[in-house]
Structure formats: C-alpha cells, structure tokens
Structure 1
C-alpha cells in the first residue's frame, strides 16, 4: 500500500507543521512500519518472483515506491535524522529511473489518474532534496531539487495528454492524483523559494511559478470535490488512499507556501484543508476495517491500475 504510506506520511508532515507533534509521530510510526513491510515485499518479489515483479513494475502505481520513500524521508528529515533521510533519498534515486522507464514504456491512451505518478515521484525527489539542502546537508541538493522540479512539470504536462478526463466524474479515487501532483509541485517550489542561494530574478520567477501551481491545484481540488458530490461513490476502494494523499499534500503545500511567501491566509486555509484530509483518512480507514471484518479477509494491498486504451 504505497499510497497509504504517502497519505499517512504527508498527514504526519502536516500535523508537525501545525504543532500536533504526538499525532504526527504516531502517523509517522504507522507509515514507517508499512513502508518497511512493503520494502521487504518489494525485495522478495524482485529476487524470487521476478516475472511478477516485472508485470507490476510497468504500471504507474509502481511509482508509489519512489513517492512513498521521499514523503517518509521528508518527515524523518524534519526530526533532524538527516542521515536516514539521505539514505531514503538514495533509495528513491536508484528506483526512479528503473521504474520510470518501465512505466513510460508501457503508457497507453485514456489512462486513470495514476498516470500523474510520474510527476509525483519526480517532485518527491525535488521536495526531499530541497528539504535536505535547507537542513545544510549539501548546497548541491538545491540544484538537484530545481532540476527535478522542472522535470516534474514537464512530466505532468505529458501525463495530462494521456489522462482520461472522464475519470474526474467516474474515477475510483486515483483521479485525485491529478491535483496531488500539482500540490507536490507547489510544495517543491516553496522549498526552492525558501532556499537562500537564489535571489533576484530566479527567486521572483520561483515565487510566481509556485503561486501559479498552487492556484491551479486549488482549482482542481474544488472541481474534484464537486465531482465527488455530484457522483457520490461510497464504500471502500484501495484507490481511496490515492484520494487522501492529494488532500493532505494540498494542505501541506498551502502551509509551506504560506510560510515561504509570508501569506497569512494560507496558514488558515492550510489548517482547514489538513482537517479535511485527517477526516477523510479516518473515514477511509474505517471503511477498510469494515471491509476487512465484513468480508473476512483484507482487501488487496496494492493500488491497481485501471485499464488504459492502447
């Protein structure tokens, strides 16, 4: 459940930013435990069931392995554990080109929202690199973050041409990655805005781009909320963790941008959006438990990809 780690990890970051440290650490512990279990499963499949690993690795949800690792790394870095966060960055950097090549090599037309994970994974590298640069791990990481930030934007545009827009109204949850990718891009931008190494025109350009990304992110957030209200889709679906992550990421992006650009309204809005993300996390968790108990077995732990038109 890479999407679960992403959702729970970013919720932990948001709770940390808003001063709810005990809850933040509890969410971090839960995300870390699931990440370790998934990492063990990933290695086991790679070594012992390689054919199955290849079959799953060429679908967009495979990139949750990279994204989840970077989100966890960001939260760990905020604890001051920069060595561990750097190790997670190294793992993510190693996985990124392998999984990216497999996923893009098997792209189809009219794909579900998971297609935007190419952007999320890349911007995750930018956010973690920017976080570590700000912590003093290495100035070169800020340049690496900028490269990933730009590349992530290009990948978002490419993914949008493959996205099935009807998923906005009929998606099972991962349609929200459309706006979650913009949110993590805005978060990466806010990290770069806060970097002391850039001033003048580059700094101004980063401010403008970050605000633009956040504005489009919030517009898509509202659009998807309206779509959810018009076509209500109750019941548990594993793709709903791919809904929780964008909700939490949008909240963190608003909070981080507000801090970087000194926007008072963003601090208030970020807290409201974080509360929404927390409530939805609890709701999806309750539906998961209900499905587990009612069905007598745990639902699938992976984020399946809806079929794409070739």
Structure 2
C-alpha cells in the first residue's frame, strides 16, 4: 500500500543533518546532537519506505530513480556521515561514505541524462549529491587521517562544479519568483561546494591531520574563498526574492530551503576556520540561527501535514 511520501522528503534529512553540523561547528553540541538523532530516525524511516516501494512497486521506483529528488538519499547519507565523523564516529562515517557512493554511482548517470529543457533549482541535486561525497571524504581525510580519500574527494569537487554549471545554464530564473522552496538549491549547491573545498583545505594544510603536496592547501583555500563569495551572493539574492515574492504556505520542498540556509552557515564557519578569518566564522554563526528558526517552522508545518502525507493513495 503506497503513501504520498516522495523522494523529495529526503531533503528533510539533508536539512536536519546540515543544521546539526552547523550547530556542532558553532559549539552548540547538545542541540546538534538532538537534531542528529532526529535526522538518523528520519533517514531510517524514509529508507524503509523507499525499500518497500522498490520491493512492491518497481515501475514507480524506477520512474522516481531518474529524477533529481532521488539524489536526496545520497546527499542525506553524506551529510549524516559528515556529522558523525565530526563527532568521532569514523568507522560509521566510513560506512556512510560507502553507502552514499554506491547510491550515487547507481543513480547519477540516469538523473543527469534526464536533465532537459528549463530546469528548476532541484536539478542542482546532481551537484549537491556529488559534493556531499566530497565533503565527507575531505572530513574523514582531515579528522581520521584517511589520506587516500583526498584525490577522490578532489575529483568529486571538480565533477560537482562541472555539473553545477551544466544545470545553471539551463536554470529557469522564473523559479526565483514562483518556486515553492527547492529553487534555493541553486545557491545551496555552491555552498556545499565551498564546504567541500574548505574540508580539503583543512585536510591538506601543513598543520592538519595529513599532509599533501606543497601548494595544494593554498589552492583549496583559494577555491574555498571564491565559492563562498558566490554562495553568499546567491544567499542575498534568494532572501531578497523571498521578501519580494513571499511564499508562506507549507510545501515539502521547503526542506530544500532549510538545507541551503544551514549549508551556507556551515560553509561560512568552516571557511572562516581554514582562511583564518574570524569575521567569516562570526558571520557563519549569525547565519546559523535563521536556519535553525526556519527549520523549526518547516518542521511544525511537516508535523501538521503528516496525516495527509501518510494517507494511502496516489500522490
């Protein structure tokens, strides 16, 4: 028996996970741990739903598997793995990386092939999922000394940037006025790219957990700075668009608004650390609390709509 849960619901795990990461980076560990627990429960529940769909309705699962929202599972697993790695669970984070990488390899080609015509912001999930692997790989390289992950993470960062440009040139800018929440991913994809670059910078810095060839950390810091500037620019544009064209009703796609808010904050804090720019770190901490507030508002909306979401029947 089907429910109305779609792959887009995976953005709830992405959003909750990255806000947990941001809170950890800002030192709010108790709240971070609480949200991590929520994210893990959501990840398990949604995973069970989609595995049941795979077993019971293969044609529908196959149709969903070639759409960008299918990649929320990859991104969610990568973000959770990153938070777990930051908390010291290196073995579990490594397992999350293996699962996310397998999902990404199975899905990414089909999704990219299906990108046609004018594209919504959600199409940038091809970038977000790719960079989620780079972030987790870079994090494990930095905190667990897994040097061998540096090259794969660097390649994934580059691939993610190529995918970002591919979607950007076909992005429907009308989504800035009419999008229901997932238009924010156009900015969140740059923010997670900046976070990936900052993790590589941290891993390759001379004072980091591992060393890489001379000059790699400087290149990673430069890429971090450029990508963060673009991400902050998108953040400002998207906020202005929300003020100009308010969209206040609940939509499951609003989780894809929370994710870029939290990701921009986390990327700014991380970049401030690797660039040794205290003002950036402070800015990231300031940006974190709007993300927490919007997370709470969207969570309340989701709880209010939960009975309809779980009602059996076609979406």
Alpha-carbon deviation of 1:287? 2.5
Matched, 1:282 2:296: yes
**Quick one: distance in 1 between partners of 2:301 and 2:38?**
18
Kept after mapping to 2: 8 A contact 1:115/1:162: no
Q: Which residue of 2 aligns with 1:27?
A: 35
Matched, 1:119 2:130: no
2:245 to 231, 255, 258: 231
Matched, 1:165 2:165: no
Q: Which residue of 1 aligns with 2:285?
A: 271
Alpha-carbon deviation of 1:291? 4.0
Give runs of aligned pairs for residues 23-172 of structure 1, distance below 5 A. 23-172=31-180
2:309 to 279, 293, 298: 298
Matched, 1:262 2:270: no
Q: Which residue of 2 aligns with 1:2?
A: 10
Q: Which residue of 2 aligns with 1:214?
A: 228
Kept after mapping to 2: 8 A contact 1:82/1:137: no
Q: Which residue of 2 aligns with 1:252?
A: 266
Deviations 1:167-197 (A, max 9, x none): 1121110010001000000000001111232
Q: Which residue of 1 aligns with 2:6?
A: none
Change (3 A) 1:140 1:237: same
Local SS of the residue matching 1:234:
coil
Root-mean-square deviation (CA, aligned residues, Å) is: 1.7
Kept after mapping to 1: 8 A contact 2:139/2:203: no
Alpha-carbon deviation of 1:276? 0.8
Q: Which residue of 1 aligns with 2:3?
A: none
Alpha-carbon deviation of 1:290? 3.8
Alpha-carbon deviation of 1:43? 1.9
Deviations 1:245-272 (A, max 9, x none): 0000000000000011111111110111
Matched, 1:176 2:184: yes
Alpha-carbon deviation of 1:200? 4.0
TM-score scaled by length of structure 2: 0.91
TM-score scaled by length of structure 1: 0.92
**Quick one: distance in 2 between partners of 1:231 and 1:60?**
25
Please say which of residues 279-288 and 62-71 is displaced more in the overlay.
279-288
Structure 1, unaligned stretches of length 5 or more? 305-310
Q: Which residue of 2 aligns with 1:240?
A: 254
Alpha-carbon deviation of 1:244? 0.1
- Count of aligned pairs between the two proteins: 299
Kept after mapping to 1: 8 A contact 2:90/2:144: no
